[in-house]
């Protein structure tokens, strides 16, 4: 089984950039996955606008929220319940998809933040198979190329890293740290931050016998 994924993250209300990326890439993929920060602090109508734009492609898509999305969206958005992956497991083309939204505690008091203890407890509810599974989060795992900030600090989640080390999904998509676009490896898991949509970045990922990543920009 082979699948092409359009990986998006950190839209932050930039619908013009999102539209351009979707026009360029959506018809080339089987699935779109969005790693949070659809908006810049909401409101809910902006969340709906982004989801409607994704729906217009006609491609299946799933999403989690980021720390800058409105907290009221944690319960899901009417009409898009089946596209929301936060603490859910969905079967898609032979893969198990699951996700977790929000971030660890930041200095900025953003709407959706969790302590490490809260993240660890929440992830216990996910019984992710290590075979043919894909994890979608906003937060990156700790001590990787993808949680390294321009200030020279690793800020990712330790609880999330332990979860990836234990469950070993085929692919882990994240975002959050805009300057940390790239990929890394945790055991057998390929971890990818496609870069912020707001700056025109995205990635196309082929998942099959191996995982291939193509980083793109409009």
Note down pLDDT in tens along the chain; length 218 residues.
789 999 999 999 999 999 999 999 999 999 999 999 999 999 999 999 999 999 999 999 999 999 999 999 999 999 999 999 999 999 999 999 999 999 999 999 999 999 999 999 999 989 887 679 999 999 999 999 999 999 888 999 999 999 999 999 999 999 999 999 999 999 999 999 999 999 999 999 999 989 999 999 99
Its pTM surpasses 0.85: yes
pLDDT at 37: 98
Fold of 3-217: Purple Acid Phosphatase; chain A, domain 2 (3.60.21)
Residue 54 to residue 13: CA distance in whole angstroms: 13
With tokens 């299946």, the residue in question is: 60
Q: Is 156 left (phi over 0), alpha (psi -120 to 50) or beta?
A: beta
Q: What is the pLDDT of residue 127?
A: 85
Contacts for 60 with CB less than 8 Å, ≥ 6 apart: 30, 31, 32, 92
Q: Which of these, 64, 73, 62, lies nearest to 36 by C-alpha position? A: 64
Residue 130 burial (C-beta neighbours within 10 Å; 0-12, 13-18, 19+): middle
End-to-end distance of the chain based on CA atoms, in angstroms? 29
At 130 the pLDDT is 66
- How far apart, in whole angstroms, are the C-alpha atoms of residue 60 and residue 32? 6
- At 147 the pLDDT is 98
- 146, 180 contact by CB (below 8 A): yes
Answer whether 204's CB lies under 8 Å from 6's CB.
Answer: yes
User: Is residue 143 classed exposed, middle or buried when 0-12, 13-18 and 19+ CB atoms within 10 A define those classes?
Assistant: middle
**Which residues are bridge partners to 34 per DSSP?**
8, 63
Please report, for the chain, the start and end positions of each structural domain, with discontinuous segments joined by +. Answer: 3-217
């Amino acid at each position: 089984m082979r699948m092409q994924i359009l990986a998006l993250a950190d839209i932050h209300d930039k619908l013009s950039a999102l539209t351009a990326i979707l026009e360029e890439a959506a018809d080339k993929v089987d699935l779109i996955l969005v790693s949070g920060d659809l908006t810049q602090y909401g409101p809910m109508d902006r969340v709906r606008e982004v989801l409607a734009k994704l729906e217009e492609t006609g491609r299946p898509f799933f999403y989690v929220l980021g720390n800058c999305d409105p907290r009221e969206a944690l319960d899901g958005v009417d009409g898009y319940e089946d596209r929301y992956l936060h603490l859910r497991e969905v079967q898609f083309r032979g893969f198990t998809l699951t996700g977790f939204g929000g971030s660890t505690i930041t200095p900025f008091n953003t709407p959706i933040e969790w302590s490490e203890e809260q993240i660890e407890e929440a992830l216990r509810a996910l019984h992710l198979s290590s075979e043919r599974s894909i994890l979608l989060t906003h937060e990156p795992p700790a001590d990787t190329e993808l949680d390294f900030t321009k200030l020279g600090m690793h800020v990712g989640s330790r609880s999330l890293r332990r979860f990836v080390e234990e469950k070993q999904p085929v692919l882990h998509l994240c975002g959050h740290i805009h300057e940390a676009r790239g990929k890394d490896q945790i055991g057998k898991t390929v971890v990818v931050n496609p870069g912020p949509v707001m700056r025109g970045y995205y990635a196309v990922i082929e998942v099959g016998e191996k995982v291939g990543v193509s980083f793109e920009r409009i």
